[in-house]
Amino acid sequence: MAKKSLIQREKKRQKLEQKYHLIRQSLKKKIRSKLSPLSLSEKTKMREKLQSLPRNSAPTRLHRRCFLTGRPRANYRDFGLSGHVLREMVYECLLPGATRSSW
């Protein structure tokens, strides 16, 4: 089980990312657009605005965590579970369509 403080920190990052998503996206579009003739100084101002946003609002700082245990590593996107929890659930036949392998 992950520490509750780390899980809460991750939730806070998710809220910040959702809050600033549209602002961040629009600034990036303006910087990248080739059609609008922005001068170099205007682009640097746009970049400064982008950098002035909170660091934790960047989507690259988010981690996927296990739905049950909160473990940040070895997560399967399809199930939202970490590897060892997924394996235990397959052994107990709690996941439909998943079969355990044996040879």
Alpha helices by DSSP H, listed for 33-79, are 40-52
∠ CA 52-58-59, rounded to 5°: 165
Give the HSE-up count for residue 67: Cα atoms under 13 Å, Cβ half-sphere. 9
pTM: 0.73
**Dihedral of CA 75/77/83/86: which sign?**
positive
CA atoms of 11 and 95, how far apart (whole Å) = 26
User: Could you report the per-residue pLDDT of 36-85, keeping only the tens digit for each?
Assistant: 666 788 888 889 999 999 999 999 999 899 989 989 999 999 889 999 99
First to last CA, the chain: 31
